[in-house]
Structure 1
Amino acid sequence: MTDLKPYFEAHVFCCTNRRPDGHKRGSCAAHGSEKLRDYMKARARELGFDGKVRINSAGCLDRCELGPTLVIYPEGVWYTYHSTGDVDEILQTHLVEGRRVERLMLTLEQRELRPEQRG
């Protein structure tokens, strides 16, 4: 059996999880992830990504202290982002040009935090 063609060339999952105010781990939503996700969706449409790239909300991606965070598949590249400029750079560099935005990528150590290290 052969694999079917994927629905999208890339799938972006943006954490929009919200923890209670004052939670020791914080949350991506408390750092503006919902507005940044909305901006990313609008910019993706403007760039003509419809049918090619899907921007989705995700529940907790378990990197709360680093948020907002997102992951892009099929590559499995994780980013932290804090501004519309960061979003523009990720869309242009990663999704248009096929390169990584190294300054925003989560390090291997950040990606592999064990539960006891997360607080």
Structure 2
Amino acid sequence: MTDSFYKYHVFFCLNQREPGADRQCCANCNAAPMQEYAKKRVKELGLAGPGRVRINKAGCLDRCEEGPVVVVYPEGTWYTYVDETDIEEIVVSHLQNGQVVERLKIDR
């Protein structure tokens, strides 16, 4: 266990940019439903709560061109994803079993 309040604290970028913005945004890439899916799965697997896992919403995490993005702390592992299959792999592999999902990492 780390010194952190949570074993894993997970932030999903849900930033929404104005139409015609120069940069893409995670909200336009299905980020909100994916955050809700992760939150639901963590609860279903009994991983939620203090000392365990917390799934949070975040504003812009400033990695728009690599998005949608999610970051897992305390280690600072950055992921991108496409759908629920990717989120499921992050939840089960990383949050439940402690194994980073290399194929979804942004900083490889």
Give the alignment's TM-score, normalised by structure 1. Answer: 0.83
Alpha-carbon separation, structure 2, partners of 1:50 and 1:94: 14
What SS does structure 1 have at the residue aligned with 2:89?
helix
Report what 2:14 is aligned to. 16
- List per-residue Cα deviations over 1:37-62 (Å, max 9, x = no partner): 01110011001012110000011010
What SS does structure 1 have at the residue aligned with 2:88?
helix
* Aligned positions of 1:64-103 closer than 5 A: 64-103=64-103
What SS does structure 1 have at the residue aligned with 2:54?
strand
Query: Structure 1: 5+ residue runs without aligned partners?
Result: 109-119
Query: Structure 2: 5+ residue runs without aligned partners?
Result: none
Q: What's the offset of the Cα at 1:107?
A: 2.3
- Larger Cα-atom Rg: 1
Of 44, 47, 53, the residue aligned with 1:46 is: 44
2:66 maps to amino acid = L
What SS does structure 2 have at the residue aligned with 1:78?
strand
Q: What's the offset of the Cα at 1:5?
A: 4.8
Alpha-carbon separation, structure 2, partners of 1:75 and 1:5: 12
Alpha-carbon separation, structure 2, partners of 1:22 and 1:36: 24
Root-mean-square deviation (CA, aligned residues, Å) is 1.5
Report what 2:61 is aligned to. 61
* Aligned positions of 1:1-40 closer than 5 A: 5-40=3-38
Give the alignment's TM-score, normalised by structure 2. Answer: 0.91
- Whether the 8 Å contact between 2:71 and 2:77 is mirrored in structure 1 is yes
- Percent pairwise identity: 48
Aligned residue pairs, count? 105
Alpha-carbon separation, structure 2, partners of 1:100 and 1:6: 19
